[in-house]
Chains A and B, each alone.
Chain A
Amino acid sequence: AQSVSQHNHHVILSEAASLELGCNYSYGGTVNLFWYVQYPGQHLQLLLKYFSGDPLVKGIKGFEAEFIKSKFSFNLRKPSVQWSDTAEYFCAVLQPTLGRLYFGRGTQLTVWP
């Protein structure tokens, strides 16, 4: 079965600090990769996705992620975080032929103003 690892359970940053959240997955075949964000009390929203092409993907709100196939990684980055980025971030991997979306355990990001 596919597994998705998010390295950090809780990250605390000050505003304007740079962010990098790690994500690694186990499946060696073709995958689609996602980062979802869940703001407090809300549902999951898509932040960005990678299906094919340029491995550097840009999403909403200044987030980006880089797919490194050789490392089975899809790390999320933002050069300067804001207080409003406080949320839980989930990495997810989809095996396109199976339909199952495998989620990491999530990383809680807290940004202090």
Chain B
Amino acid sequence: DAGVIQSPRHEVTEMGQEVTLRCKPISGHNSLFWYRQTMMRGLELLIYFNNNVPIDDSGMPEDRFSAKMPNASFSTLKIQPSEPRDSAVYFCASSFRPSELYNEQFFGPGTRLTVL
């Protein structure tokens, strides 16, 4: 299994530009999570999906952030417009939820975003 795949691995952009981060979960997993990691705030959950439906987006910092999961094998996190304070490592994780209980999460390699 290839694990969780994220692209790009590194992104450098200028303030005001639109940024799109991509994630392919592990095949068969039905829950997907987006996290942000910074020195100041540690690991924060931004949003998560179950069976392609957003369950909790309370961690999304502002309306500039949006996430979609059009199908079971693909999700995007978009920042428009981007700001320097959005610079962070963004992780995607997936898990298999066979019942009403959630399970362990498997993390992707992350996208290191730098907004100048």
Contact = CB atoms under 8 A, between A and B. Distances in A.
Interface of A: 32, 34, 36, 42-46, 49, 90, 94, 96-106
Contacts of A98: 56, 102
A9 B43 CA distance: 14
Contact of B43 (A45, A46, A49, A90): A90
Interface residues of B, number: 22
Contacts of A94: 102, 104
Contacts, number: 47
A102 B45 CA distance: 8
B101 A43 contact: no
Interface of B: 31, 33, 42-43, 45, 48, 50, 55-56, 91, 93, 97, 100-102, 104-110
Contact of A99 (B42, B91, B102, B107): B102
A98 B91 CA distance: 20
